[in-house]
Amino acid sequence: MNLLHGDCLQVLSTLPAASCDLVVTSPPYNLGIAYKSFKDTAPREEFLTWCHAWAAEVKRVMAVDASFFLNVGAAPANPLLPHQLILALTDGKDPLFTLQNTFHWVKSITIETRAGEQLSAGHFKPINSKRYVNDCHEYVFHLTKTGNVELDRRAAGVPYQDKSNIARWGHTGGADLRCRGNTWFIPYETINSRDKDRPHPATFPVALVEQCVRLHGKGPATRLLDPFLGIGTSAIAAHRQRVENFTGIELDGHYLETARLRLDEEISRLPDELPFGN
């Protein structure tokens, strides 16, 4: 585990080319979030130019068959940001990446059963508005250099609800596991104290990173990078997936120290109890 302190643009430039297989990150969203060491209110064009710069360095350190999972959220009053960002990285005369898949990370959902019962699960941040509804999802864009990177869809799959489909469909190969699709319901864990359990204003769940590791399909041999480490969620996911070759970069010294403490606690709490894939 390699946790580095500094500006991602500067630190990324020191990493060898083609040195990572998988990038999973969530950059600042430019939505006015109160980070400790980053002003999240730059003019939109300036923000997109900055994103293009660090993404170009990410591309340089990616292997040819690497995957880049980019988590981006929006605000109800600013819904175009994720789309503007992904266009900045994939459109134009010389695009950096190909958008290979788009995943929808659902944080909270209510479904109605066949019996008419409504069931709610997950957590969301409620808003007080007469114009907008609560925002219960974010995007995870899967970017690659070629658009032809193979994934291990079953490694991130789910069992068939109707078991008769296992024998009926030849592509199953007799296995009770199907592709999960591009809608991921991954709720946050319940926290008792915001300051203690989630001292960063914009985090994603450990399970989200684990899903990306499984889907990319290289297992413990994965060389994983997170250029916006925050409080270390992706480092914890790497440990749980037995990924030893992990590099995280964080600008804020307080967040980085928190990440190190969280990772040390995770390692001491579960040193050998988590088999790969759980």
* pTM for the full predicted model: 0.86
Residue 198: Cβ within 10 Å count: 15
Q: Per-residue pLDDT for the chain (278 aa), expressed as one digit of tens each?
A: 999 999 999 999 999 999 999 999 999 876 554 445 545 467 888 889 999 999 999 999 999 999 999 999 887 778 899 999 999 999 988 899 999 999 999 999 998 988 999 999 998 888 888 888 888 999 999 999 999 999 998 888 777 666 665 566 656 565 657 778 999 999 988 655 445 555 444 578 999 999 999 999 999 999 999 999 999 999 999 999 999 999 999 999 999 999 999 999 999 886 555 444 44
Per CATH, the number for 2-107+136-269 is 3.40.50.150
Q: Which amino acid is at 93?
A: K
Q: What is the pLDDT of residue 176?
A: 59
Q: Would you list the domain boundaries of the chain? A: 2-107+136-269
Contact criterion met (CB below 8 Å) for 231 and 194: no
Q: What is the pLDDT of residue 276?
A: 44
Rounded CA-CA distance 104/187 in Å is 12
Beta strands 223-226; 245-250: pairing state: parallel
